[in-house]
Structure 1
Amino acid sequence: MKKFIIAVLLFAACQPAPKPAAPAAAAAPDSTTLSPTDKGFAAVNGLNMYYEVYGDGKPIVLLHGAYMTIPLNWSRVIPEMARKRKVIVAEMQSHGRTKDIDRPITYEGMADDVSGLLKHLKIDSADVMGYSMGGGIAYQLAIRHPEQVRRLIVLSGTYTNDGWWPDVEKSFASITPDMFRGTAIEKQYDSLGNDPAHFDDYVKKIISMDLKPYNWTKEVKNIQAPIFLAIGDADGVRYEHALDLYKAKGGGKMGDMYGLPKSRVAIIPGTTHIGMMEHIDWIMPMVDDFLDSDLSTKPPTF
């Protein structure tokens, strides 16, 4: 039964999120109809990393979740953000059009790849938003390359392996390639030029990263960039995990007395781990406000 549930969740994660109804004149294009201003491959750390760039303005990097690609993870987010920002999206090692190489997949290695991509694009620093696995990459980017990170947004990501609820963490060992048969993940893996004969190796290699203990608590709490944490109230991430970091970043005090901390936290109602991307229309206004605000820590005056 547990494997069946995991399979259903993984399948659901691959499906396009439903778009809210809107008048035709006000409807925004998705990234399948919006043309990138730049795209290609960046040679970084022995990897040919695929990337796309949309829009203009202050740069923001979007980091996808495990087994995802640019269109699977960000098709609804790119056009919204590209209205006023330069949006940089990339596919991590072995994902999508970025082919695998002979090295382990690690959060640290993928963070170094993103750092190399920013240098390739001649971008000194950027805002960074990561979902799930991408949240872990975002944390490591801010730890290893702090000068390149302006503000950090982590959606349903953890900085320790026990940041997940215990049953969720335990379930990772049960994930098998068979759970992905016929899903959009397998179909996109094949359609973007990967060898179908290596699909099983791809699944196993990625999940192997989360079968090893990791704990970046000290390093993450020392990140100087402001952090916006968002998890679902029915997410796989423990509430205490997110709140512990928020308190370490200045939260847990009455803002009317002490001022607002530079970092923020949100628990999105009625939202699962997968549902974070289905409720992106709820989250984007909060992300925009965080990125655009002056993050003053001064208490209000009356």
Structure 2
Amino acid sequence: MNIQVFSRISLAIVAAVLASCQPRPKDGQNTSATSKDTAAIQQLKPSESGYADVNGLKMYYEVYGEGKPIVLLHGSYMNIPVNWSAIVPLMAKDRKVIVTEMQGHGRTKDIPRELSYEGMADDVSGLLKHLKTDSADVLGYSMGGGVAFQMAVRHPEQVRRLVILSGTYAHDGWWPEVEKSFASFTPDMFRGTAIQKQYDSLGNDPAHFDEFIKKVISIDLKPYDWSKEVKNIKAPILMAIGDADGVRYEHALELFRAKGGGKMGDLEGLPKSRLAILPGTTHIGMMQRTNILVPMVTDFLDADLDAPPPTF
């Protein structure tokens, strides 16, 4: 496959990201927010919002609901309303939902610092300290999944349970053609798209848009492999990918086996970690599967993972 084809794939991805993650009425397999959910999204207001001074950043955050805390970490080029508008109202019904915008994204202005998964994880750690939250469940989507993995590696005491949606812990966790396509991303591909409009609308300097795009691209152009560290994470992990995702099935299976999977639970008991492959689901489409994702995530977070499996 040549670079022109990769460029078309990449452009299709970035053009679809924002539109695909917006809530829409359910029809057939489009399992996003219903009209009732959409109304709730529009009416819901954060109980707290503001900026936390962490590691030289003024990191924007919002807090919704009450109960056990969960932190939601967005994907590349995204922000709170784009990534989480359909998820927050559903999860905030019975838990405290903390959402944030990472370095250079949304209302968190960039600083002269390399963008890295490790650095963003340290920022999230600082945000939890700012909010006086000792530990929380952490859920990350795509790029946010990499940040979530690093949170559990670098700040294990702050992570109770870990949920990874369409994220990887090594650069070759992506299908080879997907990994190769990252190098074809350029700022010109984003010009005039909804991504640029979102960037401009949140008070960012339009003159720095190209820098923002190049910086976000950079984190996936450098090889990384946290396999050893991630397999040693003590927190239970739920890893979910789509059957038409950009993440290799074997990548997810390798982690699940390392966390106790690959055995018959009726004979040997259930592992504390879980794996889900959602049918008919793409990487971008993952965030449309609210009717599947939210009950599945909630069940994992609330489950007594030490309980024996049911018997006849």
Counterpart in 1 of 2:25? 19
TM-score, length of structure 1 as denominator length: 0.96
Q: What SS class does the counterpart of residue 115 from structure 2 fall into?
A: coil
The CA distance in 2 between the partners of 1:299 and 1:285, in whole Å, is 19
Structure 1 letter corresponding to 2:111: I
TM-score, length of structure 2 as denominator length: 0.93
Structure 1: gaps of 5 or more residues: none
1:182 offset after TM fit, Å?
Answer: 2.4
The CA distance in 1 between the partners of 2:257 and 2:146, in whole Å, is 19
Structure 2: gaps of 5 or more residues: 28-32
Residues 14-59 of structure 1, C-alpha deviations (whole Å, 9 max, x = no match)? 11242327886x5464544210000000000010000000000000
1:6 offset after TM fit, Å?
Answer: 1.4
Counterpart in 2 of 1:163? 173
1:236 aligned to 232, 246, 249, which one?
A: 246
- Percent identity, aligned pairs only, is 69
1:180 offset after TM fit, Å?
Answer: 1.5
1:181 offset after TM fit, Å?
Answer: 2.1
Residues 197-253 of structure 1, C-alpha deviations (whole Å, 9 max, x = no match)? 110110001110110010000100010000000000010000000000000000000
Q: What SS class does the counterpart of residue 43 from structure 2 fall into?
A: coil
Are residue 126 (structure 1) and residue 131 (structure 2) matched?
A: no
The CA distance in 1 between the partners of 2:184 and 2:64, in whole Å, is 38
Q: CA RMSD in A?
A: 1.4
The CA distance in 1 between the partners of 2:213 and 2:61, in whole Å, is 22
The CA distance in 2 between the partners of 1:216 and 1:10, in whole Å, is 26
1:280 offset after TM fit, Å?
Answer: 2.4
Q: What SS class does the counterpart of residue 109 from structure 2 fall into?
A: coil
Counterpart in 2 of 1:294? 304
Counterpart in 2 of 1:66? 76
Distance of aligned partners of 1:108 and 1:27 in 2 relative to their CA distance in 1, 3 Å threshold:
closer
What is the correspondence of 1:24-103 to structure 2 with a 5 Å cutoff? 26-27=36-37, 29-103=39-113
Q: Which has the higher mean CA deviation after the structures are superposed, 162-171 or 292-301?
A: 292-301
CA contact (8 A) 1:30 1:76 kept: no
The CA distance in 2 between the partners of 1:178 and 1:252, in whole Å, is 45
The CA distance in 2 between the partners of 1:19 and 1:216, in whole Å, is 39
CA contact (8 A) 2:67 2:95 kept: yes
Are residue 3 (structure 1) and residue 7 (structure 2) matched?
A: yes
Structure 2 letter corresponding to 1:14: L
1:179 aligned to 185, 189, 200, which one?
A: 189
Are residue 107 (structure 1) and residue 117 (structure 2) matched?
A: yes
The CA distance in 1 between the partners of 2:236 and 2:271, in whole Å, is 9
Distance of aligned partners of 1:34 and 1:216 in 2 relative to their CA distance in 1, 3 Å threshold:
same
CA contact (8 A) 1:132 1:155 kept: yes
Aligned residues: 301
Q: What SS class does the counterpart of residue 219 from structure 2 fall into?
A: helix
The CA distance in 1 between the partners of 2:136 and 2:193, in whole Å, is 33
Q: What SS class does the counterpart of residue 253 from structure 1 fall into?
A: coil
